[in-house]
Amino acid sequence: MKKFTFLLLLVITGACKNSENKAEDIQSTQGEQVEISYASGFEIEKFDDYSIIEVKTPWPNAEEKFRYLLAEEDAEIPAGLEYDQKIEVPIERIVVTSTTHIPALEALEVTSTLKGFPGLDFISSVKTRELINSGEIKELGKNEDLNTEVLIDLKPDVVIGFAINGNNSAFETIQKTGIPVVYNGDWTEESPLGKAEWIKFFGAFFNKSQQAKKIFNQIATSYKDAKELASTGKESPKVLSGSMYKDQWYMPYGNSWTAEFIKDANADYIYSETEGSGSMALSFESVLAEAQGAKYWISAGQFTTYEELFADSEHYRQFEAVKNRNVYSVSLVKGETGGVVYYELGPQRPDLVLKDLISIFHPNLMPDYQRTFFKALEDQ
């Protein structure tokens, strides 16, 4: 009987120790959530020597999420941890696929790690163009048709992918060689500050999370201060946006990135009550009926002059914004090879976008402000 009791105690003690070990294992896989205040498309969980990034919206209406393990050299990774790709950090060689990724690299002071990009002419940044001109950054063709042979020869530690859906055979080819591809969905965010907060995504790859947080907080504070200034405006002028392509006027929805800028700049977007993804396709007649009296027209397509505008359609003359020369476009500010600066820097610096719009809608609030992106159409 004594032997039986002794054996029973051993079993119970062992079971308790096993339970404690399991509890410790579970506890060891619980990290600290990095604060993400505005972005909805990703999360970061930080541990001692590794992080997990979960990208929830790699592209619109995505049905799958991606988990990426960012581990330092010799990091102790718990057994059974699930992830799609493992990347050793800090990375030293990177390939990115969207111009919206460039400003984050520059702000984090890691531009020298960029080794390849599809469509170098679209890059406007002076600093990055210097690296391109010196041969440090290689041309990789087009995003939808990457030159995988050149990319693989570059031996990047990671490729930051941009995709409209999950069907990208080039990315599959790259991953088969052992080079991890990580999807970045900054462009799917509808909130201006949500897009900018993806700098924290990049910070994690370079062990610069604190620097990324500081940079974002400065942008967010600048944005909030500008929004507060705009709220003191005495009126909320009506605003039209978008432009015609063939027989359709493509207009941002009321829950879009553009519409939120207009709202925060204390202006009244004509289609503020609409909701959807992408852009609305409307007839010219319906837009004229709704927006003929709008005081301002922003983001007027690729037009840079009124001459170009009227060459496209004389009907534009019917809008009050056109009659009063209150049409503004981002297409007048370009880099040395023709890339539009707004499409590169705008998502990372929404505070500058907002200030541009405030200076247009409420000129008395920012009388001496020099706009970064939006410029008035020229006569010729």
Fold of 32-219: Rossmann fold (3.40.50)
CATH class of 234-376: alpha beta
Task: Please list, residue by residue across 249-274, b when 16 or more beta carbons sit within 10 angstroms of its beta carbon and e when fewer do.
Answer: bbbbbbebbbbbbbbbbbbebbbbee
Average pLDDT over residues 323-346: 96
Contacts of 177 (CB under 8 A, 6+ apart): 152
The reply to whether 32-219 and 234-376 are identical in fold is: yes
In the predicted structure, residue 7 carries a pLDDT above the cut 60: no
Report pLDDT for 355.
98
Report pLDDT for 269.
97
pLDDT digits (tens, 9 = 90+) for 107-145: 999 999 999 999 999 999 999 999 999 999 999 998 778
Report pLDDT for 29.
60
Q: Which residue has the higher pLDDT, 10 or 124?
A: 124
Average pLDDT over residues 294-304: 93
pLDDT digits (tens, 9 = 90+) for 142-159: 877 899 999 999 999 999
Q: Are 301 and 328 in contact (CB under 8 A)?
A: no
Maximal C-alpha separation, the chain? 105
- How much is the pTM? 0.91
Instruction: Report the relative pairing of strands 296-298 and 238-241 from DSSP bridges.
Output: parallel
Q: What's the mean per-residue pLDDT of the chain?
A: 91
Least confident of 33-42, 130-139, 300-309, 348-357: 300-309
Let me know if 63 is exposed, middle or buried by CB neighbors in 10 A (0-12, 13-18, 19+). exposed
Task: Give the H or E element holding residue 56.
Answer: none
Residue ranges per domain, the chain?
Answer: 32-219, 234-376
